[in-house]
């Protein structure tokens, strides 16, 4: 059930630091360790230095020892069903499978469920690096 992820993403959104865009975003990941890792967007006066909610959530997951995104919810205060930006799609992909579910939320709950493959088809993958 994604209700707990939705609530975690919404609670995280309330902690955003978005004084420039005034576009609060929250994200919550259920990781392979069974735990939920959440994050909000954190902006900077030097605009390109800010980062997205999904990135914060991924950072929390990795630093806590989680290595796989089982499912992830995203919510934005001012845009129902806000899809992750292009950069975050690739960041999510790093820790997800093509079938991993991404829940796009609105102010009442999960409004649309998409797979990683739908959000980022033909994603960059190669076995010649590393």
Residues interacting with ligand THU, by CB under 6 A? 18, 21, 23, 25, 41, 43, 50, 52-54, 84-85, 88
**Least distance CB 108 / ligand THU (angstroms):** 20
Nearest residue to 12 via CA among 1, 30, 24:
24
Catalytic residue among 3, 43, 49, 54: 54
| CA dist list (Å): 23 to 42, 47, 83, 112 | 11, 14, 13, 20
**Least distance CB 97 / ligand THU (angstroms):** 20
- Full strand arrangement of the beta sheet holding 69-76: 36-40, 25-31, 69-76, 101-105, 110-115
**Nearer Cβ to ligand THU, position 25 or 29?**
25
Q: Is 77 in the active site?
A: no
Catalytic residue numbers, as ranges = 54
């Amino acid at each position: 059930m994604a209700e707990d992820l939705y609530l975690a993403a919404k609670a995280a959104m309330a902690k955003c630091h978005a004084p420039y865009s005034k576009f609060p975003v929250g994200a919550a990941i259920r990781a392979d360790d069974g735990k939920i890792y959440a994050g909000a967007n954190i902006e900077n006066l030097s605009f390109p230095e800010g980062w997205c909610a999904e990135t914060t959530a991924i950072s929390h997951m990795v630093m806590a020892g989680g290595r796989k995104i089982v499912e992830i919810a995203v919510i934005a205060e001012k845009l129902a069903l806000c899809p992750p930006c292009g950069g975050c799609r690739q960041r999510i992909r790093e820790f997800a499978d093509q079938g991993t579910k991404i829940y796009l939320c609105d102010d009442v709950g999960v409004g649309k469920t998409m797979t990683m493959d739908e959000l980022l088809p033909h994603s960059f993958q190669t076995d010649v690096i590393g």
